[in-house]
Amino acid sequence: MKLLLSTLFISLTLSACTSSDNQVVTSSESSIQSTSLNGPKNIIMVVGDGMGPAYTTAYRYFSDNPDTKEIEETVFDRHLVGMSSTYPARVSGYVTDSAAAATALATGIKSYNGAIGMDVDKKPVESVLEWAKKQGKKTGVVVTSQINHATPASYLAHNESRRNYNAIADSYIDDGIKADLYLGGGWQYYIRDDRNLVNEFKSSGFHYLDNYQDLNKLPHQKPVLGLFANIGLPWALDDTNKLRLSAMTKAATNHLDDYLGSEQGYFLLVEASQVDWAGHSNDIASAMAEMTDLAKTMEYLEKYVKNNPDTLVVLTADHSTGGFTIAANGVYNWDPTVLHTMTRSPQKIANKLLDIDITVKATSALFNFEVTQAEVDSLKQAKKQGHKDVISFNKLDENAQQQIKPKPSIHNSIYSAVKKLIDQRTNSGWTSGGHTAVDVPVFAFGKNSEIFHGKIDNTDIAKNIFTLLGK
């Protein structure tokens, strides 16, 4: 750790130490310019959406072996090189959304919340993926959200609003195909009554797959479109492959390595999208499962870089979500023990409890740990309260109903109680259902990783990658 800290301070001379909306300012222009002469063949940009510093710290304790005295180092600890600020353009204040943050990470330009690959004047700005494609590199995106969600869209599209999902999906064809590989979710947007984009990708020569098993047999001479869910993928806890990000990333690197025998290398975006979704839901169980999938992905990439040293891997978050705290209520304790036993997400547990009698035996089976009668009583009360809230809501006139958001539901009442039970068991805390403005960690390893060391801004990540790509 002392060596790591020393490296951080020494490498400040190489990092981007200040930034503005329109200017790159680095402390050593000559060092970064020299790297552009011999940049990495492959660049893998990894985004842990919503993954503020509390998440990587919690993962360390979650993955710790309780039978040893030491707290074991994680893959995140091994490659921590600095911190990044995340604020959007001034018009949106200090707290970014995923679209503005992804636009900054992808283009080096700060923009307004909601912007997809556009500046504050709603003019398109080029992404590192688009530039890499122009340089002859293969390109790809691997995400656990839908492939037209905010982060991948900011690398692949230009739209004034992240909410224009169908238009963004259409642009993946209409504005020219910019990637050689897409893996994630999105049937709802790509197989529609008005347009079947999957068939259009097929007509453009793409191999299409819709199940994880086929990741092991991708054709070497064809680009690939893989969609595995209607919108985003299931929670890692509920999916048929709980390490689906890792599996998709392995398939992507293997395919991009072999595809058409490209000598120019590739640029690959990988996003652990649902760390953010767990943070929004204040769901520590799902968050740690998503972090496990990301950690296994990074461990795979460690081995990949050892075998392919002409590769750079950079990991950061676009922002932090949920105001997650490791310990709550003034109690100096955080106990993730029960999280290791869980095999279903809290959302799925709530779905099951909605349809059954809530008993100690049935509930313990769903949680996969022994619950108490008091905990069962709290779940019963939540279910009962949910019924009351729905009845009261239905008695209101339409105008009054429109003032109540979110709309009451029995499921949501149970879901909140399930998460509260787990929070109490682990002593996890939350301050928000949204984003926060804290700085986020930056991790990097492989060729030219030293230029990402120190305190940087999210725009500096794209600017440095552009430099490595010769722009």
CB-count burial class (<10 Å; 0-12, 13-18, 19+) for 359: middle
CA dist 18 and 35 (Å) reads 20
| Alpha carbon 153 to its chain's center | 13
Q: How far apart are the first and last CA of the chain?
A: 35
CA dist 224 and 355 (Å) reads 40
**161: Cβ–Cβ under 8 A, 6 or more apart, which residues?**
114, 115, 116
Structure tokens at 261: 């025998």
Annotated catalytic residue: which of 11, 63, 98, 273? 98
CA dist 123 and 118 (Å) reads 5
Structure tokens at 131: 């530039």
Cα distances from 422 to residues 416, 419, 428, 438, in angstroms, run 10, 5, 8, 25
From 112, 3, 15, select the one nearest 314 (Cα to Cα).
15
3-state secondary structure of 292: helix
Give bridge partners of residue 312 from the DSSP assignment: 43, 446
**101: Cβ–Cβ under 8 A, 6 or more apart, which residues?**
86, 88, 318, 319, 458
Tell me the one-letter amino acid at 263.
E
3-state secondary structure of 194: coil
Structure tokens at 195: 């347009």
Residue 430 has a CB neighbour count (10 Å cut-off) of 18
Structure tokens at 311: 């590769």
**314: Cβ–Cβ under 8 A, 6 or more apart, which residues?**
43, 44, 45, 46, 442, 443, 444, 449, 452, 461, 465
The H or E element that residue 389 is part of is helix 373-394
3-state secondary structure of 79: helix
From 310, 312, 258, 262, select the one nearest 138 (Cα to Cα).
262
User: Are residues 155 and 128 in contact, defined by beta-carbon separation less than 8 angstroms?
Assistant: yes
**212: Cβ–Cβ under 8 A, 6 or more apart, which residues?**
228, 240, 241, 244, 247, 248
Helical packing angle, 284-307 and 410-426, nearest 10° = 70
- 364 catalytically annotated: no
**Residues marked as catalytic:** 98
